[in-house]
Amino acid sequence: MGLRSKEEVQKAIRAWLKRTEKAFDPDFDMLVEPDLQDRWKSRVGLPETSRGYHGVSQTSAYYALSLLRANEKTERATRILRRVLEARVYDEASPRYGEFKLIYEALDDDVLDSNTTFFVCFSLLVAAFEYGARLGDELVTEIREACALIPPEKYAGDLSVGYTNARLSKCCVNLAICEWIGDWDRFEVSRRHFNHFYDVNMSRGIPERLSATYYMVDFVALGLIFRYVKDLEIRQKSQRLVTLFLQELFFFGDRQPIPARRTYNQNVGA
């Protein structure tokens, strides 16, 4: 198992951007979602353009970040991110207030998938922290304000598999957001989440070790902490968790399922 060089990563990003280009809808500044799942068809309104429905998280948001990473079409990336910021629940009376929708055209406060918000934040936070100078102060402020509205995670003291993947990712996103906006009460709730996850998984290993998908999700989440969160205790524990993940990957390397049971390698119709 070897690490890719920066040049190899950049080459892979550019190749993905080239394939994805044909899914871009210039009339709405988002990527078209090629295959709307049957379970969602009754939960979306009419598409915004004749091209079809528009994906938000692992499609448009990642596309915008990839454009920034490749130093291509910054103006387009900016327009996409503004569209992504529109794809939120605006009803203050809704328990989903502030969350992002999986499909832009999702009705009312239906986000379709509760994991969408942390996937979107992977892109928004990195875009703001790494490429803020290119995006401009106004858009970075809009991203910061949108992140501040994301509902905090409620603490749950169970020891279930829920303390892997989605729960960890939401926790890591919240830690990064709370430091950014200076919400220290919320930061301490997220710290409690994180410490619970750390204690459970350092003692028993990662329960969902057979999901190659969620290993990658967890790596991204921990990388977000290690790069952007300043709290020393959290950073040190993140480093130990990454070490544990790597040990398990090496040990179970020849037994990883192909393909993973759940995969976020997106088919964007390109």
Q: pLDDT tens across 227-237, in order?
A: 999 999 999 99
Whole-model pTM: value is 0.86
Provide the pLDDT for residue 49: 96
Q: What is the pLDDT of residues 112-158, one digit of tens each?
A: 988 888 889 999 999 999 999 999 999 999 999 999 998 776 655 55
Token pair for residue 68? Answer: 């920034």
**Which percentage of the chain shows pLDDT scores above 90?**
52
How far apart are the C-alpha atoms of 42 and 226, rounded to whole Å? 40
What is the DSSP track for 84-120? HHHSB---TTSTTTTPBPSBTTB-TT--S-TTHHHHH
Tens-digit pLDDT profile for residues 215-227: 778 888 888 998 9
Confidence of residue 264 (pLDDT cuts 50, 70, 90): very low
Distance of CA 31 to the CA centre of its chain: 16
pLDDT tens per residue across span 50-89: 999 999 987 999 999 999 999 989 999 999 999 999 999 9
Q: How confident is the model at residue 2 (pLDDT cuts 50, 70, 90)?
A: low
CB atoms within 10 A of CB 233: 11
Q: What is the mean pLDDT of residues 35-53?
A: 91
What is the bridge-based pairing of β-strands 54-55 and 24-25?
unpaired
